[in-house]
Amino acid sequence: MHASQIRGLPPGRLTAIQAIIAALALALAMALGMPAAAQQSSNHIATELVAEGPAAPGETVELAIAMTPEAGWHGYWINPGDAGYGMELDWTLPEGWSAGEPEYPVPQTLLISGLMNHVYEGPYAVLVPVNVPQDAVPGASVPVTIDAQWLACTDEICVPERGMLAATVNVGSAGDTDPRFDRWRAALAPMLDQQGSFETADGKLAIAIPLPASFGVDAPHLFLANDGVIDYAAGQTFRRVGDMLVAELDLRRGNVETPESVSGILKLDDAGGGISFSARPGAVPAGGEILEAASGPGMAPLWTLLLAALAGGLLLNIMPCVFPILSLKALSLAKAGESEAEARREGLAYTAGVVLACLALGALMLALRAAGNEIGWAFQLQEPGVVVALLLLAAAITANLAGLFELPTMAITSDGKPAGAFATGLLAAFVATPCTGPFMAAAMGAALLLPAAQALLLFAALGLGIALPFLALGFIPPLRRMLPRPGGWMNTFRKVMAVPMGLTALALLWLAWRLGGDIYVLVAAIAAAGLLAALWAAGRRQSSGKRALPAFALIAAPFAVFALVALPFAKSDAVSQSESVLAAQPFSEQALAAARGEGKPVFVWFTADWCLTCKVNEGVAIEREATREAFEKAGVVALRGDWTRRDADITRFLTAQGAAGVPLYLWYPAGGEAQQLPQVLTPDSLVSLASGS
């Protein structure tokens, strides 16, 4: 019988079957007249009970159950995982003697056909402390016996085994000790002297284990002693938060009970090092540095994530704030035109600027998360000050495209210097990366879980995707020849491109209002107007051949000082929430749990005012009368998570779902598990779900 066959039975039946098989095996052995020693020697795991040495009255002696599997066979830890069962011990001790809890060495993982087992594939020993009573007679030799049952398995078959183990303990203080105990004790996982904490949320068990930051951790794996709580085969994520090591594990599907305490062994490395721990319910710190990321079913292979990041970056080029910059650089390249070497330098410089900007933004996000900040992708747009800076930048680019002033690195008359292309790449990436769209979601969500090196590789792939069109123009002459020939029409095209950039500036002005309130947006608008006035004055002096910088500084300086002083005091924390056709409740995990507890379907969506994809989906599929009617008919509860401003609770929930940002749409059927919907919704997406609920 295979281990998976045994494990697949209900727990009660499993115990009964084990007992029946073991009893039949023992009865058969007795019927054939075989002594206990011969029956034991036929086991595939040889066992021996050994006392460390003599024990004085009132003290403790260590006994070892030494297990030696045959080649190709293995035994099991106390919690065997998805298959098998642990060792059962029935002690026979003199009156007054007592045995403590068995101490196990660090087990190994064995994955067979998707089932995760916790096993020992080589010789090992289970140590058990035995208490000697105070009235024990010195000089006496006391027999100790154990009726032990265990399961021995290969990758193909499993055999229940049994043995009567015996040892003699000498009472007294003199005598030799067994030297093997030093080796066996070194293989144990010592218990931490501090208790950890754990919490469960959204299908995850998070355990904070007090482990000093100086303690080296390589290839960790957590073996949970509590049976039936977690999905053993799922990937495990480990974060370092100061002197805490946080393990995040998937709860077993259908498990709704939270244990009163958890315990187990944390494997620290592949050399067999580990520690034992226990934890009680309590707060688990967020953030930190990812040491090991889950690679279970929820996360795609790295190469597919890299392709998704590349494709997501490529799509960002059609955003209204990026397309004008890309178009003008392409036309500038066409005008600079005939030199192949120059075109390649331009393409490489632009690519370097884009990739560097994406890497810098990604590294900053990872560093802030490691410091304990609950942030995600596009976190900069949750800061009103950053939005005002982007507003001023968009206003300046709009003025440049409209011809109010000339900036060598942005103007269409640029001679195509690589330094200008590099700066343009930095700018293009900075204005493009706040967006999250199709393909990007999985890649950016994985970047929050992967080790830093792999996460930065995803950010670099995103940057390469943004730079790819311009890089292709630099290296593929037929593409450049497809561009229109330079001419007077280019100035008109440049002014046309000022329109989408101007709309971007207006959108940022609206976002500043949503983040900071009425007075805040008024101050931001005055600062933008002052900047435009200064740029107009500078442009007038440029057209007459005079120095433009003094005029620009003279006009811009008082507006800059005004903005720097007024903006911090103008921000309002009370910003009204937008109305919803669905009469949605604000999202919280408590609200979600309450809605699901009522047995109703639940629709949860996460949005932000700065998310273009979110707003399009809301107009197309969510904020519609047809959706409202379908939801009312089906009794659907709608919850909306507004991530326009920073919200640690929403960020944690997004991260748990493998999402780095918004939009995120979840559908919970009545009594069912969450279904993550596509990031691009169709008009009938939600109506169909509600009708089928």
Q: How far is CA 444 from CA 177, 378, 676, in A?
A: 58, 10, 16
pLDDT at 218 over 50: yes
Q: Encode 330-374 in three state secondary structure.
A: HHHHHHHCCCHHHHHHHHHHHHHHHHHHHHHHHHHHHHHHHCCCC
Contacts of 377 (CB under 8 A, 6+ apart): 365, 436, 444, 660, 661
133 neighbors 158 (Cβ within 8 angstroms): no
- Tens of pLDDT, residues 568-600: 888 887 666 677 888 889 998 888 888 888 888
Parallel, antiparallel or unpaired: strands 196-201 and 204-210? antiparallel
For residues 277 and 191, is the Cβ–Cβ distance under 8 A?
A: yes
CA distance 115 to 161: 22
* Mean per-residue pLDDT, 285-300: 63
As a whole number, mean pLDDT of residues 309-331 equals 74
pLDDT band at 255 (very low <50, low <70, confident <90, very high): low
| 119 pLDDT higher than 70 | yes
Out of 124-138, 146-160, 230-244, 357-371, give the one with best mean pLDDT.
124-138
Residue 419 has pLDDT above 80, yes or no: no
Q: Round to whole Å and give the CA distance between 313 and 680.
A: 17
In tens, the pLDDT along 533-568 reads 999 999 998 888 888 888 899 999 999 999 999 998
**Which pLDDT value is given to residue 377?**
67
Is it the case that residue 46 has pLDDT exceeding 90? yes
**pLDDT the model gives residue 12:** 34
Structure confidence by residue, pLDDT tens digits, 487-498? 777 778 878 888
Q: Is 443 exposed, middle or buried (0-12, 13-18, 19+ CB in 10 A)?
A: buried
User: Which is more confidently placed, 535 or 233?
Assistant: 535
Strands 98-99 and 108-112: unpaired
> What is the rounded average pLDDT of the residues 379-396?
85
Q: Residue 203's pLDDT is what? A: 78
| Tokens 């002083």 -> residue | 565
Token pair recorded at residue 483: 């561009």
What Cα–Cα distance (Å) separates residue 546 from each residue in 381, 454, 539?
38, 51, 10
Which domains does the chain carry?
A: 3-185 (2.60.40.1250), 196-292 (no CATH), 302-390+405-497 (no CATH), 585-691 (3.40.30.10)
Collapse the DSSP code of 121 into the 3-class scheme (helix H, G, I; strand E, B; otherwise coil) and give the result.
coil
Question: Exposed, middle or buried: residue 363 (CB in 10 Å: 0-12, 13-18, 19+)?
Answer: middle
Quickly count: other Cβ atoms within 10 Å of residue 173's Cβ.
12
